[in-house]
Amino acid sequence: MDEHAVIIAGGGPTGLMLAAELALSNTGVAIVERRETQDLVGSRAGGLHARSLEVLDQRGVADRFISAGQVMPSTSFGWIPFDVDGLPGRHSCVLALWQKDIERILAEWVDELQVPIYRGCEVIGFAQDATGVDVELSGGQTLRAQYLVGCDGGRSLIRKLAGIDFPGWDATISHLIAQVEVTDEPEWGTRRDANGVHAFSKTGEGPIGVMITEQHARATSDPTMSDLSNALIAVYGTDYGVHSPTSLTRFTDMTRQAASYRAGRVLLAGDSAHVHYPVGGQGLNLGLQDAVNLGWKLAQVVEGISPDTLLDTYQAERHPVTARALRGTMAQTALLRSDPRTEALRDIMVDLIGMDEPKRYLAGLATGLDIHYDLGEGHPLLGRRMPDLDLVTPDGPIRLFTLLHQARPLLLDLGTPGTIDIGSWSDRVQLIEATYDGPWELPVIGLVDPPAAVLIRPDGYVAWTGDHAQTGLTEALTTWFGP
């Protein structure tokens, strides 16, 4: 029986990102993926938001994605566009990049980190005990791990077998999205009517892209070409002779979130833990954030650095943040309707988004730059992502994100050198003495007073701020990085 510290069920973006995080911490991890290759049919998600780009930059791989995509200065809320390039940060943008390319680049990175992938099989069952989990694969093989993480999508078998409830709201609308050939020239662009949004788009040479809102909400079952033809005729009066699909899927505005992200030694991340309408492109980005929040915590527990209660902070932090994002997608879904009352609401939203304060609020929500984990009272930085400062150290200038490339925690001392002592944590936490003379500006909040010292977690979020009195530092180090 092959043994790994962590087994990840699902090799999509969330599973790949989590595997990379664990591998950076030298934690034995393996992925189980049903596809024989990383090839992905169809377009799927189409972008990386600012916080996701920051997270990738924290690991030194952001340029791989940026060079393959197109930087866009704006995003939208309910298809009402607005700029995000005014937010503070190096990556105040949206990167247009198809999921198939995101997965390809992530998979190349994971391969460099030498993470084994069991391809062409799925997890079909598991049994957990006091020390680990026996994981049964579809090919008859059994694996053993200390922890199993379900990154196996919205219909997650891991979630179901773990007995984790998936409460939420049923679908009110459904769409078909496809890449197909056509016999007749279609009506290019977007059409909105009382039923919803429909669109034809050119994707380059070869098949064209189609999105059509169905007349009645359907379940997330596998659609047929007959379903697509009938839906097109209902809207356009013709199906334009659609044929030869390379992909055809159905998606809805069903919105659900796992009641718990953990059941003993089994955890959930990405779509396994939450599903929603794809407006705003939140899904893939939420999954990446799940992975980066969970990865270092799981690594510390596996290595015996921290007690397994540290894993409870994964749900405590990610569940409310994701719940807020899901409500944002529900609000956007409502704005996409085309009845006169919704059009009146859209007109008001257009006016509001034109104002600075509402636009900053929505920009923070859309990009993930406003994420705030509740770590108690204190400096505005506490629980928020650390800005990528241009530091000056005794060894020369360096960007702060560069210090996070190996997913190690960091205590940044910006005051008098030699006055902070981290004692026994020096083998786990980097102590960096530096200076920074620029402004401290946070998205949405604005300018804040500079702290004298900052404790930064491997995921880039601030766990403590203080001065050379070090009040509360020992408690923060113990909470996050073990006794």
User: Residue 419 belongs to a domain with what CATH number?
Assistant: 3.40.30.120
**Position 381 in a domain:** no
Final residue of a domain: which of 252, 269, 293? 252
208 has a pLDDT exceeding 80: yes
**202 and 289 together in one domain:** no
- Residue 468 pLDDT level (bands cut at 50, 70, 90): confident
pLDDT of residue 397: 97
Specify the pLDDT at position 336. Answer: 86
pLDDT at 389: 96
Question: What CATH number should be reported for the domain holding residue 191?
Answer: 3.30.70.2450
79, with CB counted inside 10 A (0-12, 13-18, 19+), is middle
In a domain, 158, yes or no: yes
Where is mean pLDDT largest: 75-84, 225-234, 289-298? 289-298
What local confidence, expressed as pLDDT, does residue 417 receive?
86
Mean pLDDT of 374-396: 96
Domain total of the chain: 3
What phi and psi, each to the nearest 5 degrees, are found at residue 20? -65, -45
| 239 inside domain | yes
Quickly tell me which residue has 């102590």 as its tokens.
431
pLDDT in tens, 402-449: 999 999 999 999 988 888 989 999 999 999 999 999 999 999 899 999
pLDDT at 374 over 70: yes
Dump strand ranges (E) for 114-219.
117-119, 123-128, 133-137, 142-150, 168-169, 174-181, 189-193, 196-202, 208-213
**Domain shared by 100 and 180, yes or no:** no
Say if residue 39 is in the same domain as residue 160. yes
161 lies in the same domain as 304: yes
pLDDT at 367 over 80: yes
Both 262 and 244 in a single domain? no
For residue 63, is it within any domain?
yes
Q: What is the pLDDT of residues 118-145, one digit of tens each?
A: 999 999 999 999 999 999 999 899 999 9
pLDDT at 433: 96
Q: Are residues 63 and 14 in the same domain?
A: yes
CA distance 242 to 262: 44
Confidence of residue 115 (pLDDT cuts 50, 70, 90): very high
169 C-beta neighbours (distance < 10 Å), count: 12
| CATH number of the structural domain spanning residue 101 | 3.50.50.60
What per-residue confidence (pLDDT) applies to 43? 61
Same domain for 125 and 71 = yes
- Tell me what the mean pLDDT of segment 63-83 comes to: 94
Q: CA 179, CA 229: separation in Å to the nearest integer? A: 13
- In this structure, the answer to whether residues 271 and 126 fall within a common structural domain is yes
What pLDDT is attached to residue 220? 66
**Run of H or E including 299:** helix 282-302
* DSSP conformational letter for 336: T
- Single out the residue in 216, 231, 252 at which a domain terminates: 252
DSSP conformation class of 450: P
Of the candidates 266, 300, 385, the residue with the CA atom closest to the CA atom of residue 25: 300
Decide if 349 is inside a domain: yes
- 380 within domain boundaries: no
CA separation, residue 392 to residues 84, 133, 381, 434 (Å): 29, 47, 21, 5
Residue 44 predicted with pLDDT over 70: no
| Boundary-marking domain end, from 333, 367, 401 | 367
- The pTM of the full predicted model, rounded to 2 decimals, is 0.94
Q: What pLDDT was estimated at residue 304?
A: 96
Identify the residue whose tokens are 């998979």. Answer: 107
Q: CB pairs under 8 A, 24+ apart, for 353-361?
A: 353/77, 353/80, 353/82, 359/82, 359/83, 360/87, 360/443, 360/444, 361/444
Same domain flag for 239 and 284: no
The answer, yes or no, to whether residue 46 has pLDDT greater than 80, is no
pLDDT reported for residue 284? 94
CA distance 149 to 144: 13
Pairwise pLDDT comparison (193 vs 372), residue with the higher score = 372
Give every CB contact of residue 137 below 8 A, 6+ residues apart in sequence.
Answer: 32, 118, 121, 122, 123, 124, 143
Listed residue (397, 156, 107, 376) closest to 257, CA to CA: 156
Region 90-97 average pLDDT: 94
Are residues 274 and 305 both part of a single domain? yes
Within-domain flag for 102? yes
Q: Are residues 184 and 162 in the same domain?
A: no
238 within some domain: yes
Q: Which residue has the higher pLDDT, 250 or 194?
A: 250
Instruction: Quick: pLDDT tens for 301-343.
Output: 999 999 999 999 999 999 999 999 999 999 998 998 888 899 9
Structure tokens at 161: 């077998």
What is residue 469's predicted lDDT score, i.e. its pLDDT? 85
- Tell me: do 306 and 160 sit in the same domain: yes
Q: What is the mean pLDDT of the chain?
A: 94
Identify the pLDDT of residue 464. Answer: 97
**Residue with token string 């769409």:** 175
The residue behind tokens 């990154």 is: 151
Structure confidence at residue 415 (pLDDT): 87
Q: Which two tokens stand for residue 91?
A: 């990556």
Comparing C-alpha atoms, which of 450, 451, 449, 405 is closest to residue 430?
Answer: 405
pLDDT, average across residues 75-85 = 92
Q: Report how far apart, in Å, the C-alpha atoms of 315 and of each of 53, 67, 290, 311, 320 are.
A: 23, 34, 9, 8, 8
The predicted structure's pLDDT at residue 195: 81
Give the whole-angstrom CA distance, residue 352 versus residue 363: 13
Identify the domain containing residue 356 by its residue range. Answer: 2-167+256-367
